[in-house]
Structure 1
């Protein structure tokens, strides 16, 4: 790919990331702005608390699909190089966290992180899920246990001898997600 096409791919990924499931579910079905309710976070967890379990589920589906589609196109159809795919994954996360059309007030990135792992690191994602299931039986603080589980994705990539770009990408994404959760919720 020529550099302009690579830049366009990253910008498109950011735009996909800006599609915020919680915001659009809130506006279309509940006629309310999720960013003014509950924790004021435009994410699945707040949508579930404020609106309903189905709002949580639909938000997760929308936020996962917006990540899965561009990453599958990039990896399977266009066979882009690993550095460009890494940049796209990070752009998807940044779009979710700071969506331009929502005044840069989005979610915290958990679904984006996990959906990227579903496409780019499915085995470490499975380990993450098992870690969370076991950890939650020991300690009932889901946020803490989930953050510990999320750490298994870059560690798993490193142990599986995957590309350093992919491992670094998930370390960067994990760091951003952890920072976004520093105030709880």
Structure 2
């Protein structure tokens, strides 16, 4: 029963739509009706500016981190349970029960899970992610490259095989959720972000 409880808590934590809540509180509108329509930190940034976008990102990161941290209380010596709790928090963000299973792309929540499990890997990915955003202004491209890099770094750091399987699964999750962005990137129509204000440009 404890395993089931930990899994359920992970999913429910992931399902909390912080971007939707924040935009409704600040702008009194539904984030799904604006920008990309995505319930995530990037779209929140487009609507509310950099500081609120960062806040939403930190809250989404916190969901994944907390899901794994709760699992550690009961199963600190069982990495597979920790991974499953983390995966379910990402599933919750992507397919939240509170929003009829239509959520975000899971990038920030995945980061929270990884911070709790493999902080050395996520530090490198963050540097790559930030560099790509600063040079191209494409958040989607940065997220896709970061996801693809994750399994490679797990291999380089020679971490446990269970983490490699987890990394591959997260990469598939993130890249799958970015298929529309990939199509727009190839077509040259993907939205860019400007860190100097809250407007986006094509």
SS at match of 2:102: coil
Following TM superposition, by how much is the alpha carbon of 1:135 offset from its aligned partner in structure 2, in angstroms?
Answer: 4.7
Find out whether 1:164 has 2:161 as its counterpart. yes
Find out whether 1:74 has 2:71 as its counterpart. yes
**Structural RMSD (CA):** 1.9
Contact 2:64 2:111 in 1 (8 A): no
Gaps of 5+ in 2: 182-190, 192-202
Contact 1:23 1:33 in 2 (8 A): yes
Counterpart of 1:49 in structure 2 is 46
Contact 2:68 2:86 in 1 (8 A): yes
Tell me the TM-score normalised to structure 2 length. 0.81
Following TM superposition, by how much is the alpha carbon of 1:145 offset from its aligned partner in structure 2, in angstroms?
Answer: 3.7
Cα deviation, 1:6-60, whole Å, max 9, x if unaligned, reads: 1121111000000111011012222211112211110100111122223212211
- Matches for 1:1-185 after TM superposition, within 5 Å: 4-75=1-72, 77-78=73-74, 79-135=76-132, 141-184=138-181
CA pair 73-176 structure 1, distance change in 2 beyond 3 A? same
Give structure 1 regions of 4+ aligned residues with deviation exceeding 6 angstroms.
none
Following TM superposition, by how much is the alpha carbon of 1:139 offset from its aligned partner in structure 2, in angstroms?
Answer: 5.3
Gaps of 5+ in 1: none
Tell me the TM-score normalised to structure 1 length. 0.88
CA pair 176-26 structure 1, distance change in 2 beyond 3 A? same
CA pair 87-180 structure 1, distance change in 2 beyond 3 A? same
In 1, the alpha carbon distance for the partners of 2:131 and 2:25 equals 37
Alignment coverage as a number of residue pairs: 181
